[in-house]
Amino acid sequence: AGTPILVSACLLGEPCRYDGRDNGLPAVLALADRFILCPICPEVAGGLPIPRPPAERQGRAVRTAAGEDVTAAYRLGAAKALTLARDRGIRLAILKAKSPSCGRGQVYDGTFSRRLVPGDGVTSECLEAKGIRVFTEKDLPSQGR
């Protein structure tokens, strides 16, 4: 019941991460009590496989550690997330923190050394630019991680 929201599929237990694992969290699953959850993995929606090499934002581009430019797939995934949000009348998203697609407020710095810098993932940036508010799992009250 309730309002539809966009949610990173990995937070709902979908094994769509680059390493084939998931980020399933009870606090995110519990949102189903109050919202209609619309899962999406922008990287998979953008055509990337599971597993896939990890990638990080490097300015406007997204590249793997080996230097492969995967920006187009990230942009396609963002466009698909935006289309889903518009089709469903979604105004709010809960996306996975720090991801180069889903992160909000901070992302890895592009050097593959686990350092964080202020910024948004490609999908989060796109959604926010179109007026859809993006939060991460860390913003949930019950989530102290």
Residues 6+ apart with CB under 8 A from 91: 3, 131, 132, 133
Interface pattern 32-51 for ligand SF4 (x via CB under 6 A): ---------xxx--------
DSSP string, 86-132: HHHT--EEEE-TB-TTT--SEEE-SSSSS-EEE---HHHHHHHHTT-
Nearer CB in complex with ligand SF4: 41/132: 41
Bridge partners, 107 (sequence order): 98, 117
* 9 near ligand SF4, rule: CB under 6 A: yes
63 binds ligand SF4 (CB under 6 A): no
Residue closer to ligand SF4, measured from CB, 16 or 90? 16
Binding site for ligand SF4 (CB under 6 A): 8-10, 16-17, 41-43, 96, 99, 101-102
